[in-house]
Chains A and B, each alone.
Chain A
Amino acid sequence: MSENTNSPKSESAISVRAMDIITALLFIILGLVVMTGSVKLGASWGSDGPEAGYFPFYISLIFILSSSITLYQAAVVDKKKKTESFVDKEPLKQVLAVLLPAIVFVLGVQLIGIYVSSLIYIAVFMVWLGKYPLWKAATVSLGVTVALYLMFEHWFQVPLPHGSWINPLEFIGVN
């Protein structure tokens, strides 16, 4: 369980109340999407029993109802939560410092394969956030990547993505 700290020194990036409202709204929209999708499929009783959209329709109905109540509670009932911080600015930077490189990493997995992406990702992460010297970062990231390669491609014969755009491993003779 994470406690939301509420010290006056740290600046809040967004309040719990705002986040609660946003999430509930997103859920309601998602519920509506599911509902329209199931109505299109047929959400009633067909000639041979319930149609394909029957179950999802009621699921989306309950989803929309429960999220609406959450929305009402967050927006109208629990106004005091307005001041409670969901995440402060400094910690948010930390979270984004992990999340944004992770997105670049996944993009890398798709384009140049998982091995080279992991190598770069771990090394960059260590140098940038961990302030490690380059040689240490290079050793660790190379070690992990080689271990991954041996374990998956070699021992368990589970192929991992080699890159849809270019396969850098081709240069060292791996297809």
Chain B
Amino acid sequence: MEEINALFGGFAVAMTPFNLLLMLVGVTLGVIIGVLPGLGGANGIAILLPLTFTMPPTSAIIMLSCIYWGALFGGAITSILFNIPGEPWSVATTFDGYPMARNGKAGEALTAAFTSSFVGAFFAIVMITFLAPLVAKFALQFGPPEFFSVYLLTFCSFVGMNKGSPFKTISAMMLGFALATVGMDTVTGQLRLTFGQPELMRGFDFLIAVIGLFGIGEILLSMEEGLAFKGAAAKIRRQVVLETWAKLPKYWATTLRSCLIGCWMGITPGGATPASFMAYGVAKRVSKNGENFGKGEMEGIVAPETAAHAAGTAALLPMLSLGIPGSPTAAVLLGGLLIWGLQPGPLLFVEKPDFVWGLIASMYLGNLAGLFVVLTCVPLFASILRIPFSIIAPVILVICAVGAYTVHNATFDVWLMLGFGVMGYVFKKLDYPMAPMVLALVLGDRAEDSFRQSMLISQGSLDVFFSNYLVSGITALALLLLFWPIIGKVISKKKPAAA
């Protein structure tokens, strides 16, 4: 029970008054970010990252991860009360949440959503607590080829799991890789693809890309849709909370299923959004009340919320143990770790146990704090949404500009942010996925390093990725996922023929 001891050590680190205060601040900021359309977890953290530069790393990461939990909670508020998914992963919550709110059951819907979110996240944290150290220990034996094959798996799974055009996914990903190569080459020290421009020597920071793609892009989209907020009134009385809690155990099977779907989708970088849809779809098919889904069925809130949070939380497992983030937001957190000189990956558990276990402990506490904050302050957060968009939009844009500037103290980055914003708008409308691009931008250098090291080992032969059972297994799985769009088609064509 090594993990339990380490976890208690972690609680000791996380439970200082300063850290507890940061948790509350982080969760509150996170909920605001989640509630506001146009600001999401990933770019919210990217913008607020500079504020944590003066803090000790453990406190900083506690605050940032609490922003993440808050954002995960906040998305549900707008979905249920306003039928506007504040985050992509809360789209599935609108299907039943909004009808419930219109039937005067807003309190029940919100309580169900928050509680399921909490349960999903809690399940994933327990999994991280026991699984992450094992994965890290296992990964300590990895060499460059193994690491590259894991990176390959990460990227191929985007191709295999995305519903849109696989070629667009690949293009978006390659664009990310190409942008990541700009600047100093870490191996030879040569300047690459800067074309003599001194501004390009810094390279493209993914934080700027995140702020532009998700922040500015979202504002442009909201503007096009002519956003108007009309919401159901929200008040959560204690009576309603208790009554809803009494009903929830009925859905234990849905909850457990959604937890598992979420954890799986979070570890393999499917992310919270597909997890929520998948859990909703499965719940609809399996449930006795399946035909009522979409009309205001509580089970239709429980399933996507549980899965989204389980996935959002589970995405931190590969980030902590392998250094591979499972979601764009986890990628931003990873960026934060790198800024503080912490190298996420298997060695982190050996070198900085205080940090890792402090973070894991703060996940438990942060989610509790989150549940408390959202259950008590819903009317307050809902009132933020009543601020008209013509005030919110310029303020968000200014905040994004501040965030982009502070990353490198460069105005050029603010221009880049605007460029990425237009790109985000076009990408979204043409169904180019943004998550693989951001992850490629984050992981580009590391993937390239492990690729070059592997090539050095094998003197340029690709056989190195099939040199032992472990690496061949991972590479084979990666290739399977890469060609899944084709394989899947072949299988589904054969099935009706056989029947």
A interface, CB within 8 angstroms of B: 1-2, 4, 16, 19-20, 23-24, 27, 30-31, 34, 37-38, 41, 45, 49-56, 59-60, 62-63, 66-67, 69-70, 73, 86-87, 91-92, 94-95, 97-99, 102-103, 105-106, 109-110, 114, 118, 121-122, 125-126, 129-130, 132, 140, 144, 148, 151-152, 156-161, 164
Contacts and interface: CB of A to CB of B under 8 A. Distances in A.
A152 B193 contact: no
A52 B185 contact: yes
- The bracket for how many chain B residues form the interface is 35 or more
7 closest A-B pairs by CB: A130-B390, A63-B174, A125-B394, A66-B170, A91-B224, A37-B193, A66-B167
Interface of B: 50-51, 53-54, 88, 91, 165, 167-168, 170-171, 174-175, 177-178, 181, 185, 187-188, 190, 192-193, 195, 216, 219-221, 223-226, 388, 390-391, 393-395, 397-398, 401-402, 405-406, 409, 411, 414-415, 418, 421-422, 425-426, 428-430, 432, 448, 451-452, 455-456, 460
Given A98-B219, A106-B418, A114 B401 contact: yes
A144 B415 CA distance: 22
Q: Is the interface of A mostly helix, strand, loop or mixed?
A: helix
Given A1-B91, A91-B226, A158-B406, A130 B388 contact: yes
B397 A102 contact: yes
Contacts, number: 181
A47 to B, nearest CB: 12
Nearest to A121: B394
B174 A52 contact: no
A125 B390 contact: yes
A105 B51 CA distance: 23
Given A110-B414, A158-B51, 13 more contacts: A2-B221, A2-B225, A16-B430, A30-B178, A56-B177, A59-B181, A63-B178, A67-B171, A106-B411, A144-B395, A152-B402, A158-B53, A160-B402
Contacts of A38: 181, 192-193
Contacts of B192: 37-38, 41, 52-53, 56
A5 to B, nearest CB: 10
B429 A4 contact: yes
Contacts of A103: 418
B405 A160 contact: yes
B428 A125 contact: no
B167 A73 contact: yes
A98 B418 CA distance: 11
B429 A87 contact: yes
A87 B394 contact: no
A51 B189 CA distance: 11
Contact of B188 (A30, A52, A151): A52
Nearest to B168: A70
Q: Is the interface of B mostly helix, strand, loop or mixed?
A: helix
A66 B176 CA distance: 14
B429 A19 contact: yes
A139 B472 CA distance: 63
Contacts of A70: 165, 167-168, 171
A102 B418 contact: yes
Given A109-B414, A130-B388, A62 B430 contact: no
16 contacts: A23-B430, A37-B195, A38-B193, A41-B190, A49-B455, A52-B185, A56-B177, A63-B178, A66-B168, A70-B165, A73-B165, A114-B398, A129-B390, A130-B391, A144-B398, A158-B51
Contacts of A140: 391
Q: Which of B187, B195, B421 has the most CB of A within 10 A?
A: B187
B411 A110 contact: yes
Contact of A109 (B53, B91, B178, B405): B405
A151 B168 CA distance: 41
